Structure 1
Amino acid sequence: MSSDAREWVWEHSSSRGTARLVLLSIADRVPDEQCVAWASLASLAERTNASRSTVRDALNRLLHDGELEQLDDLTGPQRSTVYRLPKAAAEAARQRETDGADAQAPESEEESGPAPVLRISVLRRYGIRPREVPESPATGRKPGGPETGTPRRKPAPPGTGNRHPDVPETGTQNRSEPKVNRRYSSSRAAAGPIAAAEWEGGPDAHTWARRQGHLDRLGEDGLAAADAKWRAHRAGFQPRAAAAWAADWRSWIAREHSPAPGQGRPNLYALPGNGPSPNGGMTRTQAHTAALLAALDEPTGTE
């Protein structure tokens, strides 16, 4: 389905420059006709070869133009932000109706229709789940609402700031969010066994992956993809305690293969005089040591 989403961007999107690259990167991760995908600011910056501030500005333009929606009620692997391409989703729904039966309404009216209601139960297969935030009396939300994602409204023009000072901004840049979710995760862990899709590693899991070298070995995209793969493989398992899921997740990440050279992250280490770069599984210290040894072995012309 990602090919259909990318085709919509190429054929119908009015975005240009970095904004178009960002939209294509998100469309590349779309798994089905709902045109919903998760992405972090760091992964988008790496994919588009742009700075984070440039990517953030591009996202704001896409949100303002209506070609992208930020689903604040949902979260992806590693607490990544969830987006939807509403116009691409509406076009996909129109195509299904056209292919399934004779269209009764004019085509112009079908194209202007809203995107279909999200099916959260299907999105769970791809590691996308409702964002779990402790209820507060100030929110005024009714419990037990319909299982649908709420798209983010179009942002104000740049420079106007947050229009709702009492409501914290969402996304991975919100420094206060991990603390809130960490407290909630602790209460969930004490409550009893949970499903794999409900387990949240949070900052602790990310810190562990960085300290163990798995973040450098797999990269931000690779780590998020491994997390999504783990959740997909563990979807049918019986509920376990949060600590058991954490141990199982770490074992999975430790066994995840590094991307082959030319696929995924580029290999940054090259040995002088030895042709191809070393194995991507080498640590930074090992690669530097190998480079020094190779330099000592090279002839200097003074022997």
Structure 2
Amino acid sequence: MSKDAREWVWEHSSSRGTARLVLLSIADRVPDEQCVAWASIASLMQRTNASRNAVRGALTTLAASGELETLDTFIGPQRSTVYRLPRTAAQLAKAAAATEDDPGAIVEPPAASDPVPELDGKRLRRHGIWPRDGSESDPRRQNPTGSESAPSRQNPTPRRVGSRPPEGSETDPQNRSEPKVNRRYSSSGAAAVTSAGEWQAGPDTHAWARQQGHLERLGEQGLATADMKWRVHRADFGPRTAGAWAADWRSWIAREHNPTPSRPNLHAMPGQDPSPAGGLTRTQAHIAALRAALDEPNGVAPR
């Protein structure tokens, strides 16, 4: 019977794009001439390779066209939604009536005025479809075939205000798999955060150092030393995102100078106390360091 339902969709349905794929997926599950089938959003997403919003938009479009009906008074295996193709059921009933006496009779094309047959609830129970007000513990309501197309709906996703897709959307993006992120330090899972010691400078960071001239100015060894000092100074900082560490690292490298007698090391690691260069006193060395930071000439002469 699913073959007849699919043929009706191929030959007479006005649906397009994602809506047509969704209707074909439901028609493929029709067990008899009542044209009733159950399906979950997740299974339709898997069969059509479309996003959740695209599937929901397609269901809204099909309901508006009258080619698909949601039977809210029934429920399928594992609390899945029950749908009916009313126009398909009307056409099959008309074809059965026309060919009952004359198997070779020509069946007229489907029309909107064709009556839709009434549902037989007892026949629906054979396929795991029960009235919604029925017993929830009835063992016969479990999936009799164990089909993978009916995933568990114990924790359905709550609807969000403003997330309803526009009707008739046929260009919705397909479902994309999001990469897993490090949620070690994140309570909400919105963004991955790490410590300064765990953060690693990527190729884009090294490309920035090369483009800005810092690699040529400091050299490979100088850049590695500056990176080590940055990690020591940031060891006690709280966890941050990779973008925040990258911005802080670039700021540090941009301020880093090669240690020379005329330009003291302004970013020495904690615990280091470099001796004054050139015979300067501690006060004179500090003044020279401040002037070096301001790119001013050193006006303090050695004694």
TM over 0.5, yes or no? Answer: no
TM-score range, shorter chain: 0.3 to 0.5
Which has the higher Rg, Structure 1 or Structure 2?
A: 2
**TM-score under structure 1 length normalisation:** 0.44
